[in-house]
Amino acid sequence: MKTILEMRNIAKYFTGVCALHNVDFTLRAGEIHALMGENGAGKSTLIKVLTGVYAKDGGEISFEGQSVTIRSPQEAQNIGISTVYQEISLCPNLTVAENMYIGRGKQSTVNWRAMERNAAAILERLSIPARAKQQLANCSLAVQQMVAIARAVDMECKALVLDEPTSSLDEQETAKLFELMRNLRDKGVGIVFVTHFLEQVYQICDRITVLRNGELVGEYGIKELPRVQLVAKMMGKELDEAAAIRHDERENSDGAVVYEAAGLSSLNCVMPFDFSIKKGEVNGFTGLLGSGRSESVRAVFGADRITGGKVKVNDRSVKITKPIHAMRQGLGYLPENRKSDGIIADLSVRDNIILALQVLKGFFRPFSKAEAEKLADEYIKALGIKTASADTPIKSLSGGNQQKVIFARWLLTHPKYLILDEPTRGIDVGTKLEIQKIVLKLAREGVCVTFISSEIEEMLRTCSRLIVMRDRKIVGELRGSEMTQDNIMRTIAGEAG
């Protein structure tokens, strides 16, 4: 098979930090090549160097046998390298069609009708459930991701880079995407596939390149590298920790009810629902994307406009219509969309960590610099957050470390009830396990946790009770031995089993 892309001895430094050091990477035509590594291993950096977002500090890139210098994403696109990034970077206020065609081509005029017709055809071909004229913001996160892929696919690319494309897709959608990827592979497109889902790697990829701490670990054929070894290569150590993570089997039945809601509903289209959680319990909301699981926990936290319902915390009636009310009752909420709802991008890691506690403490009682520094350092160490310093803006951290910062923010408030919506999305295996372990530790300490994840296995591992949702309604509750993949599917599908 022909090699279309070759990167040799790539190096990249950020002020004071070496992000990539002598990394090689080759991509052949007609293959799907997994780029694996933990958070901060340098995957995203390598891809950004390849696509011209960052200027490389050393090394060579050759594309189709010719040495190239890529100075901007536009140039990358022009020579045939298209990218879909981990975090969706489209314009939510434009239509789907506009998003697919914006910033392409050199002509200054736009044939709107042709554009919409073409867009509609592509959406149809890829079976993406969106209309060309629909505003992107009205689409679900998954559909937005698919639109981003459709945009890249349509650009006649020879190399397609998919950075965590499946992190917000459910299984069906993932399958659809894979179908599309195989399709493109057969047409001779080389695909770089960055993901944290080991399953998916073995489902679809041909070869794997593993990075660790900015250095190349090696390149392997999929057959010659069993899963366990892959994980070991990524983490740099043998690992059977995942197996050790297990929620406490005996359910904490004697625990007092910490939070109880009756007929809670919000403006964000959640049907009124009842819900309660006991001390030390870890429960999960599950359901397809858009089933209302995120909206439900947002209602619990008062993040959306509350339209009705009674809430009791520790058996006392309370009003929770704003996040601050929930926080005062000892609730914490790690939102689904880290970029838009979680991090304060330009602020330092320290400020991001102390934010919630500072708000609880009050406007007129600010932390002194020393106090803030102490708290931040303590949690940076405790959670193993990889950052140059507490003063580094959070936006320059890798996704997993950003998530840990948000985690630290809520741990700092010593919540009685912590809501985690997709805390492991877009995060590498190691950090995922760490987060799961923290959740279980919190539960043992008597904190109740709601844990939402697209990975059912993860939920099965950590939760002692699952609340199943469909069409913005709670349709079932599973506990103990009822909690199997099979049962969950049936409940979601509506076949009481």
Residues that bind another protein (CB under 8 A): 13-14, 16-19, 21, 40-42, 213-214, 301, 303, 322-324, 327, 333, 335, 340-347, 351, 354-356, 358-360, 362-367, 369, 386-389, 391-392, 396-397, 409
* 77 versus 329: smaller Cβ distance to another protein: 329
Q: Provide the minimum distance between the beta carbon of 367 and another protein in the complex, in angstroms, as a whole number.
A: 8
Contact predicate 208/197, CB 8 Å: no
Residue 141 Cβ, how far from another protein at the closest point, in Å? 15
Q: Which of 124, 419, 416 is nearest to 283 (CA)?
A: 419
Residue 464 identity: S
Q: Give the distance from CA 3 to its chain's centroid.
A: 31
Give the β-pairing of 417-421 and 306-313: unpaired
CA–CA separation, 313 vs 330, rounded Å? 9
By C-beta, is 35 or 100 nearer to another protein? 35
Burial class, 37, CB count within 10 angstroms (exposed 0-12 / middle 13-18 / buried 19+): buried
Whether 76 contacts 85, CB under 8 Å: no
Q: Which is nearer to another protein, 5 or 357 (CB)?
A: 357
Nearer to another protein, 128 or 419 (CB): 419
Query: Measured from the CB of residue 92, what is the shortest distance to another protein in angstroms?
Result: 12
Nearer to another protein (CB atom), residue 10 or residue 225: 10
Query: Least Å distance between CB 11 and another protein?
Result: 11
We find the least distance from the C-beta atom of residue 322 to another protein, in angstroms, to be 8
- Least distance from another protein to the Cβ atom of residue 356, Å: 5
DSSP state of 212: E
Diameter of the chain measured on Cα atoms: 71
C-alpha–C-alpha distance, residues 131 and 137, integer Å = 12
Q: Which is nearer to another protein, 214 or 290 (CB)?
A: 214
Q: Is 335 exposed, middle or buried (0-12, 13-18, 19+ CB in 10 A)?
A: buried
Shortest Cβ 182–another protein spacing (Å): 33
Q: Tell me the HSE value of 372 on the side-chain side, using a 13 A CA sphere.
A: 19
Rg (CA), the chain: 23
Min separation Cβ 426 and another protein, Å: 17
- In this complex, which beta carbon is closest to another protein, that of residue 235 or of residue 397? 397
Nearer to another protein, 166 or 358 (CB): 358
Other C-beta atoms closer than 10 Å to the C-beta of 21 total: 18
Q: Yes or no: say if 390 and 354 are a contact pair by the CB < 8 Å rule.
A: no
